[in-house]
Amino acid sequence: MAKIERQVLHNCFDKAKEFRKLGDNDKARDYLDMGIGFCAAKKEDGMDGEDLIEGVKINLWLERFWMKLENWDLLL
């Protein structure tokens, strides 16, 4: 299971960028939201914002996903 989890956030971030390039903002937003949801679930399970997922702090992942939502004007 660790191998699957290791790929989740990088995949969400990469897919969001791909769909943004293709002009599919809805799918880009969906992948950014999935990344945020994944981080939120980990925090609910007891992880801290300073804990690492895929070698990156959870708080940094959240910042990355939120910044893309804001910069790409995808906030609902």
Q: Name the pTM for this structure.
A: 0.90
**What pLDDT is stored for residue 5 in this prediction?**
57
2-50 pLDDT per residue, tens = 555 568 999 999 999 999 999 999 999 999 999 999 999 999 999 999 9
Spans of all domains in the chain: 2-71
CA–CA distance, 65 with 13 (Å, rounded to integer): 7
Cβ-Cβ contacts under 8 Å for 72 (sequence gap 6 or more): 20, 25, 28
Q: How many CB atoms lie within 10 A of CB 42?
A: 19
**What pLDDT is stored for residue 76 in this prediction?**
85
57-70 pLDDT per residue, tens = 999 999 999 999 99
Residue 13 burial (C-beta neighbours within 10 Å; 0-12, 13-18, 19+): buried
